[in-house]
Amino acid sequence: MTADRTRFGPAVFGHRGGDGGPENSLEAIRSAIEAGADGVEIDLQVGPAGRVAVGHDPIDWSTSRAHSIGLAELLSVVDKGGIDLLIDFKSTGDPLAEAIIMAEALTAAARPEAILVSSFNVAFLRHLRELAPELVLCPIVSLRQNFPRPVDHERWDGFSVLAAALINPFYLRQSAAGRRLFVWFAATEWSWLIRLIARWRVDGVVVSDIGRTVKLLAR
C-alpha cells in the first residue's frame, strides 16, 4: 500500500466507500478521503462488451443502472486522493474472460501498486495472478465458508494477501507467514475489537464509520 500514514495500527478502508454518501459512490469516496481514510473498498463487476462498472448487487445492464461509475473515473478519483483502492470483484461470468479485462485495465492504472483485488472467486484470482503478477490479490474467506475447519493452506498458495471476514488464530498466523491480513467489519463495528486488533499484526480494517475508526486508532 502507498498511503502516507502517521497513526498506529491497521490501515482504515471505507466499506463501499464509507458512510459519507451512497454506497460505492464518488461522494462516499471523496468523503472517505476527507475523513482520513487510507483507502476505500469498492465493488466492481464486468458486464456486456467487457464494460467494468461499480456495483455490489446484480446490475441490469439494459437500464440506467448500467450507467454507474466506470473504472477510469473511479481510478482517477482514488489516484487524486492519494489513497489505496481495495476492489471487491463480483464475478458473474467466465473467470478467465473477466480476469483478462481486469488485468488490462488495472495494469494501465497510474498507481497499480496502490490497488488490491479481492474476490470470493478463487478461479478469477488465479487467472488474474498469471496475467498481472504485480497486483496484490486477496482471497476472501468468511465464517460461513470456513468455520470451524481452517481453510486449506494450499488453496491460497502464492497469494500476496489473505482477506478475512473475522478474527481467529488461524487468520492471524497468515500475517506471521508473510501475508497481509485485512478484516471486514462492514455493518457491525465493535470499538473494543478494533482497538484490540490494532495491537496485532492486522494490516487493515474495512469499516463504514471511517471518522470514528480513525479516532479510535489515534488514541
pTM recorded for the entire structure: 0.86
Query: Is residue 198 within 8 Å of 9, Cβ to Cβ?
Result: yes
Q: What is the pLDDT of residue 148?
A: 41
Secondary structure of the chain as H, E, C letters = CCCCCCCCCCEEEEECCCCCCCCCCHHHHHHHHHHCCCEEEEEEEECHHHCEEECCCCCCCCCHHHHCCEHHHHHHHHHHHCCEEEEEECCCCCHHHHHHHHHHHHHCCCCHHHEEEEECCHHHHHHHHHHCCCCEEEEEECHHHHCCCCCCHHHHCCCCEEEECCCCHHHHHHHHCCCEEEEEEECCCCHHHHHHHCCCCCCEEEECCHHHHHHHHHC
Residue 82 has phi, psi (to 5 degrees) of 70, 25
**Each residue of 37-56: pLDDT tens digit?**
999 999 999 988 788 888 88
**Cβ count within 10 A of residue 155:** 11
Domain ranges of the chain: 11-218
Residue 117: is its pLDDT beyond 50? yes
**Each residue of 169-199: pLDDT tens digit?**
666 666 656 677 888 775 556 677 777 777 7
Query: Is residue 1 within 8 Å of 50, Cβ to Cβ?
Result: no
Residue 150: is its pLDDT beyond 50? no
Average the pLDDT over 137-151 and give the result: 60
Q: What is the pLDDT of residue 28?
A: 94
Span 11-218 CATH architecture: Alpha-Beta Barrel (3.20)
What is the residue whose three cell numbers read 478519483? 77
